[in-house]
Amino acid sequence: MKNKAWGGRFKASQTTEFLEYGASIGFDKKLAEFDIIQNMAHAHALKKAGILKPHELNKVLKGLKSIFGEIGKGTFRFSVADEDIHMNIERRLKEKIGPLAGKIHTGRSRNDQVATDVRLYVRENSRKIAALLIQLQKAFLAQAEKTVDDFMPAYTHLQQAQPVRTAHWHLAYLEMFRRDEARFAAVAESANISPLGSGALAGGNFNLDREYRAKLMGFAGVTQNSLDGVSDRDFALEFCFAVSVLFVHLSRLAEELIIYSSSEFSSVVLPDEFCTGSSIMPQKKNPDLLELFRGKSGRTVGNLMNLLTILKGLPLAYNKDMQEDKIPVFDSAEQALMALPLAAQLVKKMKFNKRLLETRLDEGFLTAVDLADYLVMKGLPFREAHHIVGAVVKECEEFGISFGGLNLADLKKHSPLFGRDVLKTLDPKLSPDRKKGTGSTAKAEILKQIKRLKKEF
C-alpha cells in the first residue's frame, strides 16, 4: 500500500478489480495540461511561503515543463495504477526530480485540485466555443447580405404563413447563435474563480496565497467558502446547459434544412460535402451532417441530465460520485467543438432555390394578414376583418385559385370597403416592406441590422 498516496491508513490491499473500477485516468487525462498549469501556480505559492527554496522551485518547474512537453507530443505514459491525472503527473514528476516531488502536494488536496482543473477546462472551452459561434454567425450574416432581395414563405405549424425576405430567415438563426455566444461567455466568467487553497474542505494549514495562485492561472478571483469551493459544480452544469441549448438550436436548424432540402420542398440545395448516398439507391443524397446535429442534440441534453442527476443528492463536500462529473462535461465540449466548424461551412455553401421559392409566394394565401389589416385601416375592427378575409380564403379554396386569381369585384362581394388599391395588398413581394419596427422583415430594417452586425463583428 506504500505506493498509494493514501495507503498508510490501510492494512489490507484493495482488490485489483476495485482499483480498476475506481480509476479515472481513462477520461480525466484530458485535464493533464490544466493540472500542470495548476501545479506550476501552486509551486510558485510554495516558494513564496518558504516551503520551496528558489532552486527547488526551478527544479519542479523544469520537471513540470518537461511533462507538459511529453503530454503535447503524446509520449506521456498514463497508468491506471496511479488512479487519476493528479497522481499520474506527481508520479512522473518524482521520476524526473526525485523525492522533491513529494513537496508539491503540500497544503493542497485532490479535492481543490480537481475543482480547479475542471474550472480551467470549462473556462478555456467556453471561450473556444464562443469564438466558433462568431464564425457561424458570420456565415449567416454573409448569406443574409446575399439574399436581402430574395423572398420565401415563412411558416407556422409547418404551414405557409407570411412572406419574408430570405435574409430575415438567416438573421433569425444568427440571433439564436448570438445568444449562445453570450451564454458561453457567461459560463467562462462563472468558471473564472479559483477554488485552489480550499484544501479537502476546510482550507489549509499553510500560509499559501490563494489570490496569488489565482492570478497566476488567470482567474478573476477566489471562491469565498472552502466547503463550497470543493463542492461547487454549478459552472459545469451551466456549461452542459449551454451546450444543450446550442445543440437544440443546431437541431432546429437541421430539421428545417432537412425538410427544405427534401424533394417535396426542394427549397434548399445542400452542399455535396456534407451529404452521403445510399448503398442500394443510386439517386439518394442524404443530409447526414444535419441528421447528426439533430441526433447529437439528444446526446448533449442527456449529458446535462446525467450531471444534474449525479449532483442532486450529494452532501457536502467531495464525494466519489463527483468523479463522474467530468464525462458529460468532456463529451459536451467535444461535440460542440466538432459541430460548429462543420455548421459554419455548411451554412456558407448551402443555396436557397430563389426561383422556386418565389413561385411558392403565390400559394398559401400569404398576404391574408395584409388583407385584414387593409380593412382595419379602413375603420373595421380587426376581428371582423379577420372573419371577412377567412371567408375570402374559403371561397378561393372552393374555386381552386390563389389570391392572385381574384379581381376587385370578387373582393367587394365580401366588403364594400375594398377599393382598387387593395390589389397591391395582395402582392406577396410588397408585403415584407409594410412591416414596421425593429426586427421586422422590411428591407430597410434588415439592412440596418446587417450594418450593425458587421460593425460588431
DSSP class per residue in 193-204? EE-TT-TTTT--
Cβ 107 vs Cβ 209: under 8 Å: no
Task: Look up residue 431 and give its three cell numbers.
Answer: 408585403
Q: Are strands 193-194 and 221-222 parallel, antiparallel or unpaired?
A: parallel
Per the prediction, the chain carries an average pLDDT of 96
Q: pLDDT band for position 12 (50/70/90)? A: confident
Closest CA to 40 of 85, 111, 107, 104: 104
Active site residue 278: yes
More confident residue, 2 or 296: 296
- Where does the chain hold its CATH 1.10.275.10 domain(s)? 13-106
What is the per-residue pLDDT for 15?
Answer: 83
Q: Which of 157, 244, 249, 332 is catalytic?
A: 157
Closest CA to 25 of 444, 405, 323: 323
219-276 confidence digits (pLDDT tens): 999 999 999 999 999 999 999 999 999 999 999 999 999 999 999 999 999 999 999 9
Q: Which residues have C-beta within 8 Å of that of residue 299, sequence separation ≥ 6?
A: 247, 331, 335
Classify 157 as helix, strand or coil: coil
Classify 133 as helix, strand or coil: helix
Cα(408)–Cα(371) distance, integer angstroms? 13
Backbone φ and ψ for 273, nearest 5 degrees, come out as: -60, -20
Fold adopted by 360-456: Ribonucleotide Reductase Protein R1; domain 1 (1.10.40)
What is the per-residue pLDDT for 3?
Answer: 65
- Where does the chain hold its CATH 1.10.40.30 domain(s)? 360-456
Residue given cell 402582392 in the structure block:
427
What is the per-residue pLDDT for 19?
Answer: 80
Residue given cell 378561393 in the structure block:
396
pTM of the model: 0.94
Q: Which of 66, 79, 262, 278 is catalytic?
A: 278
Stretch 274-296: mean pLDDT, rounded? 96
- Tell me how long the chain is: 457
- 13-106 in CATH: which number? 1.10.275.10
What is the per-residue pLDDT for 2?
Answer: 56
Q: Does pLDDT of 5 surpass 80?
A: no
- The architecture in CATH of the region 111-359 reads Up-down Bundle (1.20)
Q: Does pLDDT of 108 surpass 70?
A: yes
Active site residue 55: no
**DSSP per-residue codes, 356-384:** HHHHHTTSTTTTHHHHHHHHHHTT--HHH
Q: pLDDT band for position 352 (50/70/90)? A: very high
